[in-house]
């Protein structure tokens, strides 16, 4: 009795099993990297949101009549840390655009007050805000890179034939909804 066909079938099954195992594990790894990167973004967004009330209070001390500007920033800040914005990149991007616009207004108000520009607390908050913005940018790049890798792996043949049935789906990039609103970041240096 010739066992060659049986060995060939067993070999093909073994190769398919190894392929499925490695593909699944690779997707799990990429998915977790994307989750970790999103977590990094939310940490930085919360850090920035925590800085904004201190900034507003410092500016309020000099520009008490700018109530509408402060209310707009407060609303925009709340939108960036809302549960929806912290769990969906599209909602986060929309909230980011609103906050960028609101912060521009605060710094425009601050420019009118030379004493404020010399205030050590204000300067310190500006530095922390700049640092946080840089960290958000880095976290966003890391997240989008992970999403790109995951989406490519999901779309590649032959994985695309079965990965969705294993529960993997493409993730959305963290892109700003209104690119014009962030062409120039808020000026935090005077």
State how far the Cα of 75 lies from the Cα of 183, in Å rounded to an integer. Answer: 22
Instruction: State the pLDDT at residue 101.
Output: 85
**Residue at 187 is within a domain:** no
Mean pLDDT of the chain: 84
Q: Which residue has the tokens 């195992």?
A: 21
Could you tell me if 99 and 56 are in contact, meaning their C-beta atoms sit under 8 angstroms apart?
Answer: no
Instruction: Render pLDDT for 17-52 as a digit per residue (tens, 0 to 9).
Output: 999 899 999 999 999 999 999 999 999 989 988 888
**Residue at 101 is within a domain:** yes
Q: Which residue has the tokens 């493409």?
A: 170
Query: What domain count does the chain have?
Result: 1
**Residue at 77 is within a domain:** yes
**Residue at 155 is within a domain:** yes
State how far the Cα of 15 lies from the Cα of 142, in Å rounded to an integer. Answer: 33
* Element holding 78 (H helix, E strand): helix 67-80
CA separation, residue 28 to residues 24, 37, 151, 162, 173 (Å):
6, 14, 12, 14, 18
**Residue at 19 is within a domain:** yes
Instruction: Render pLDDT for 126-154 as a digit per residue (tens, 0 to 9).
Output: 888 889 889 988 999 999 999 999 999 99
Instruction: State the pLDDT at residue 177.
Output: 62
State how far the Cα of 66 lies from the Cα of 104, in Å rounded to an integer. Answer: 13
- Domain harbouring 24, CATH code: 1.20.1440.20
**Residue at 189 is within a domain:** no
**Domain region containing 91:** 4-179
Report residue 14's pLDDT band, with 50, 70 and 90 as the boundaries.
very high
When computed from its CA atoms, the radius of gyration of the chain, rounded to whole angstroms, is 24
**Residue at 60 is within a domain:** yes
What's the whole-model pTM score? 0.73
Q: Which residue has the tokens 């994307």?
A: 34
Instruction: Render pLDDT for 75-119 as a digit per residue (tens, 0 to 9).
Output: 888 998 888 888 888 888 888 888 888 888 888 888 877 777 777
Instruction: State the pLDDT at residue 179.
Output: 55
**Residue at 184 is within a domain:** no
State how far the Cα of 72 lies from the Cα of 76, in Å rounded to an integer. Answer: 6
Could you tell me if 86 and 105 are in contact, meaning their C-beta atoms sit under 8 angstroms apart?
Answer: no
């Amino acid at each position: 009795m010739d066992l060659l066909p049986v060995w060939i079938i067993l070999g093909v099954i073994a190769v398919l099993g190894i392929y499925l195992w490695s593909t699944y594990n690779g997707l799990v790894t990429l998915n977790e990297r994307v989750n970790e990167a999103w977590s990094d973004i939310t940490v930085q967004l919360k850090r920035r949101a925590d800085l904004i009330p201190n900034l507003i209070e410092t500016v309020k001390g000099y520009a008490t009549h700018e109530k509408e500007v402060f209310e707009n920033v407060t609303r925009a800040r709340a939108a960036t840390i809302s549960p929806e914005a912290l769990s969906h990149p599209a909602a986060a991007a929309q909230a980011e655009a609103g906050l960028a616009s609101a912060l521009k207004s605060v710094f425009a108000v601050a420019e009118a007050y030379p004493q404020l520009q010399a205030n050590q607390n204000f300067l310190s908050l500006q530095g922390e805000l700049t640092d946080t913005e840089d960290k958000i940018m880095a976290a966003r790049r890391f997240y989008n890179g992970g999403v790109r890798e995951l989406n490519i792996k999901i779309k590649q043949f032959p994985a695309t034939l079965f990965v969705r049935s294993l529960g993997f789906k493409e993730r959305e990039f963290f892109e700003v909804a209104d690119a014009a609103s962030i062409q120039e970041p808020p000026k935090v240096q005077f």
